[in-house]
Amino acid sequence: MRLPLLSVVLAVSFVPAWAGDLRITLPKRTHETPVQNLNREGVSAIEKHQFRKAEKLFYKAYLIDPDDPFTLNNLGYISEIQGRIERAQRYYELASRQNTETTVDKASVEAMKGHPLTEVTGAYASRDLRVNRGNVEAMSLLTRGRVQEGEDVLQRTLAMDPKNPFTLNNLGYAMEGQGNLDSAFRYYTQAADLHSSEKVVVAIDPHWRGKAISDVAANNVRALRRRIDTEQTDAARVARLNLQGVSALNHNDPEQARKFFEDAYRIDPKNAFALNNMGYLAEVDGDQETADEFYTEARAADGSNTRVAIASRRAVVGQPLARVAESNGEGAQSNLEAKQAAKQRETAPIQLKTRDNKSVPEPASPPEPENSPQQNPPQE
């Protein structure tokens, strides 16, 4: 499965005002100072994807002049690509507060050339930083298996900039990870149709670096088409249904989740994940005994050592399914024992119930035993 890309990209080696362009800045000066030289070297390292080297150079510049707005801006950029968003925001804010008349000499957005640096950083810190922050936060959540939370962050981010190709592509990834291939296809297509030439520089998949984001999205569309065409085996369908069921639970749609889980179990009643999910349904229905049976079967099924990719409880993500099913089974058994103990403490009359928790009506009088021998009347 493809991994999501970061929304931060580099177009050229100087500051822009819009998300997607490299926010590395250099002042317009006649004679280069040591600080400016260090910033230029840092920019060169960024272009070669040598981010640690760039960070060291920017920090050297910072030690020489901690108030230099270009250095502060560049440290904000490095912090952002490291996922340290709060630190990035502080650097950007510090850069924008500097009372400087320095103007931008070079920028990937032509309109920014000649503008004061404070105007550039101030504009960026408003909407574009929030968009980048959302994408960075979402990517961190997605890579940790917290797919629903990542999707929620991306949806809020998309509302700020509905045509941001990076957010759209990342939403496609989030949907694909939840088995919602139709929505994934839609988001990938929207990102591709924007025909954005903004380049990807920071990405988990190194093969995406240097490519235009819309080209990446278009490749995702083609890959998803191939997946839909080829993944028609029962195993693929069951895996997708299980993912969709968990996603439905995370979207607070338990009825839809039940349908997905039951469909998966009907296709393959020996699938470890399907058995575990049926145990969950039985537990929701209050049938602890059946839930425990399903969990026991899940632990013994083939594939029970597969690690959980997404779940309704973040604590189990990354654990082998067998361990999760064991924990679920112990919980179901504990619930059953607790209910039994509570019933033993009850003083009310015992009420008969079927296994599906329906009450059994008691007859008005005790039934006669079947085929009982006819008793003779007493003889005098």
Per-residue pLDDT tens for 309-359? 556 565 656 567 677 666 665 555 555 555 555 555 555 566 666 666 667
Query: Per-residue confidence of the chain (380 residues) as pLDDT tens digits?
Result: 343 343 322 222 233 222 334 445 555 555 778 998 898 898 888 878 788 999 999 999 999 999 888 888 888 888 877 767 678 778 877 877 766 666 665 544 455 556 666 665 555 555 776 787 788 778 878 877 788 889 999 999 999 999 999 999 999 999 988 888 889 999 999 999 999 998 776 665 667 777 899 999 999 999 989 988 887 788 888 888 888 888 788 778 889 889 989 999 999 888 888 888 888 888 888 888 888 888 888 888 887 777 765 565 656 565 676 776 666 655 555 555 555 555 555 555 666 666 666 676 766 665 565 554 444 444 44
Q: DSSP secondary structure string, 220-243?
A: HHHHHHHHHHH--SHHHHHHHHHH
Q: DSSP secondary structure string, 172-224?
A: HHHHHHTT-HHHHHHHHHHHHHTT--PBP-SBSSGGGTTSBHHHHHHHHHHHH
| Secondary structure of residue 359 in the 3-state scheme | strand
Question: pLDDT at position 14, please?
Answer: 30
Q: Dig out the tokens for 4 from the structure.
A: 């999501």
Question: Each residue of 256-307: pLDDT tens digit?
Answer: 889 989 999 999 888 888 888 888 888 888 888 888 888 888 888 887 777 7
Is residue 174 within 8 A of residue 138, CB to CB? The reply is yes
CA gap 132, 18 in Å, rounded: 10
Q: DSSP secondary structure string, 45-96?
A: HHHTT-HHHHHHHHHHHHHH-TT-HHHHHHHHHHHHHTT-HHHHHHHHHHHH
CA gap 294, 263 in Å, rounded: 16
Q: Dig out the tokens for 125 from the structure.
A: 């810190």
